[in-house]
Amino acid sequence: MEIDYPLVLTGFGLRNMKKVQIKTVKGFNEVLPPESFRWRQVEDKFRNLLEGYGFAELRLALLEPTELFARSIGGETDIVEKEMYTFIDRSERSLTLRPEGTASVVRAYNQYSLGKSNEINKLYYIGPMFRYERPQKGRYRQFHQLGAEVFGEESFYQDAETLVMLAQLFHTLSIKGVELHLNSLGCEACRPLFRDQLKDYLSRHQAGLCDDCRRRGAENPLRALDCKNPQCREAVAEAPSIGDALCCDCRQHFAGLCALLADAGIAFQINPRLVRGLDYYTRTTFEFLAGDLGAQNAVAAGGRYDRLVEELGGQPTPAFGFAVGFERLMMLVGSEVAPLTLPVAALLPLSEEALRRLFPLHVELNRRAQMTTLSFQHKSLKSQLKKADKDGVRYALIVGPDELAQDEALCRNMRTKEQTKLPFAEIGEFLWERYHEH
């Protein structure tokens, strides 16, 4: 969505410049009202759900040393090779706007020794991420994610609890038709063997692969399994399956998770091609797919990454996490989110004195909730009533010279057009009762 945001600079030393209209950087998604109200309602539901499961919020830096992402996400990935906003700052350091949240959460987990105070750490974040991708529907260069990570628990019960919680999030938001796809990527014992098998297979099918997959074949062969290029899909159709290569522990871990999900009544499909584009995953990986989103159809994704904390300089710590694409989530939420509450009444002053009299009442009433609107221009009654009607308020409280003399307002029911007198002293109670009738 291209947003026209008119910001016109003129005068003040800019006399010699032409009028300029400055716009956002292409693909940087901004959220304007009323959409921002809908976003906050969804954020609140996310926070409530996660805090119910014992998660606490982390508010992290947007900018990180580039090395963090090169070491965690992996050098031979689309994100690191092509999509990061990386620049050299004034001290000649290479910095990057975060392309995802997990690496930063792990960096913080290590930096602040969060594992020392708690055996299990459950952390969540909400915020913008940045990737230089081709902007298209539902995909932006500044986009937003809700994400969570659990540190210190290697049991498949943790994977199951987190996936059930995500399914509950979709349920809470009345999102239907979301499918869970699951896979296991094995561990440091069994994955190297599978990598060798796959490398071997890919070297025999070089001709069918795209340039990226051919080049990455030696370093990151798994990436070819989820390459979106149709020729690669065909080339890997007969490739060895990770499921056959799992060691006994990984097999039990995955089977345990699948059994718990089945018990919880959560439908899922095992997808041996699901490897995710990032290097750090071990064992469980998953995506929640929504058909309504078309080709870019993952609305949430994540998995287990039992080695990453250690690889980024911390103690060996198992971990599991996920991220939800906020823009895509909002495409699925539709109109099911609760409508905005409208003010109950418009205060309509017909003179300067009436405005002066109504102003303290107006600010007092709105201290508790959005109860009233007040026009600071005492225009004609007709134009004020028209505006009140447009704003959708249920009552108009009209105050002209006569009402002012009597210490009362003329209370007009906007639907029935019925008008009654309402003493100033009773306005607060009257509106407070109507407010709760919603």
Size of the site for Zn ion (CB under 5 A): 11
Neighbours of 159 (CB within 10 A): 27
Q: Tell whether omega for the bond before 34 is within 30 degrees of 0, i.e. cis.
A: yes
Q: Where in 190-209 is the site for Zn ion (CB under 5 A)?
A: 190
Smallest distance, Å, CB 214 to Zn ion? 8
Hey, what are 216's tokens?
Answer: 């990455």
Nearest one of 236, 249, 149 to 191, comparing CA atoms: 249
Interface region with Zn ion, contact rule CB under 5 A, candidates 22-30, 210-218, 324-332, 396-404 = 210-218
60 near Zn ion, rule: CB under 5 A: no
Hey, what are 373's tokens?
Answer: 């609107």
Smallest distance, Å, CB 316 to Zn ion? 16
- The residue among 45 and 214 lying less far from Zn ion, judged by its C-beta, is 214
DSSP 213: H
- The residue among 193 and 259 lying less far from Zn ion, judged by its C-beta, is 193
CA–CA distance, 180 with 301 (Å, rounded to integer):
9
Nearest one of 34, 102, 39, 37 to 68, comparing CA atoms: 102
Neighbours of 373 (CB within 10 A): 19
213 near Zn ion, rule: CB under 5 A: yes
257 near Zn ion, rule: CB under 5 A: no
> Judged by CB under 5 A, which of 108, 247, 369, 381 binds Zn ion?
247
- The residue among 169 and 213 lying less far from Zn ion, judged by its C-beta, is 213
186 near Zn ion, rule: CB under 5 A: yes
Smallest distance, Å, CB 207 to Zn ion? 12
Hey, what are 286's tokens?
Answer: 């998953």
Hey, what are 355's tokens?
Answer: 């405005």
> Judged by CB under 5 A, which of 142, 172, 197, 229 binds Zn ion?
229
Nearest one of 93, 100, 253 to 182, comparing CA atoms: 253
Hey, what are 248's tokens?
Answer: 């006994």
Cα–Cα distances in angstroms (integers) from residue 232 to residues 126, 184, 201, 223, 243, in the given order: 34, 21, 13, 10, 20
Smallest distance, Å, CB 255 to Zn ion? 13
Q: Are 424 and 397 in contact (CB under 8 A)?
A: no
Interface region with Zn ion, contact rule CB under 5 A, candidates 92-100, 182-190, 300-308, 430-438 = 182-190
Biggest alpha carbon–alpha carbon distance for the chain = 94
189 near Zn ion, rule: CB under 5 A: yes
> Judged by CB under 5 A, which of 108, 210, 258, 369 binds Zn ion?
210
242 near Zn ion, rule: CB under 5 A: no
Q: Closest residue to Zn ion, Cβ-based?
A: 227
- The residue among 186 and 303 lying less far from Zn ion, judged by its C-beta, is 186
Smallest distance, Å, CB 230 to Zn ion? 9
245 near Zn ion, rule: CB under 5 A: no
Q: Which residues contact 198 (CB under 8 A, 6 or more apart)?
A: 221, 222, 224, 225, 239, 240
Neighbours of 390 (CB within 10 A): 9
> Judged by CB under 5 A, which of 227, 257, 290, 397 binds Zn ion?
227
| Single-letter code of the amino acid located at 282 | T
CA–CA distance, 175 with 168 (Å, rounded to integer):
10
- The residue among 81 and 353 lying less far from Zn ion, judged by its C-beta, is 81
At residue 146, what are phi and psi to the nearest 5 degrees?
-110, 130
The SS3 of residue 424 is: helix
CA–CA distance, 57 with 423 (Å, rounded to integer):
48
Interface region with Zn ion, contact rule CB under 5 A, candidates 39-47, 131-139, 183-191, 344-352 = 183-191
Smallest distance, Å, CB 143 to Zn ion? 24
Smallest distance, Å, CB 303 to Zn ion? 14
Smallest distance, Å, CB 286 to Zn ion? 17
Smallest distance, Å, CB 184 to Zn ion? 8
> Judged by CB under 5 A, which of 70, 97, 182, 232 binds Zn ion?
232
- The residue among 250 and 399 lying less far from Zn ion, judged by its C-beta, is 250
Smallest distance, Å, CB 210 to Zn ion? 3
- The residue among 187 and 350 lying less far from Zn ion, judged by its C-beta, is 187
Beta bridge partners of 145: 127, 325
| Single-letter code of the amino acid located at 435 | Y
Smallest distance, Å, CB 226 to Zn ion? 9
Q: Which residues bind Zn ion (CB under 5 A)?
A: 186-187, 189-190, 210, 213, 227, 229, 232, 247, 250
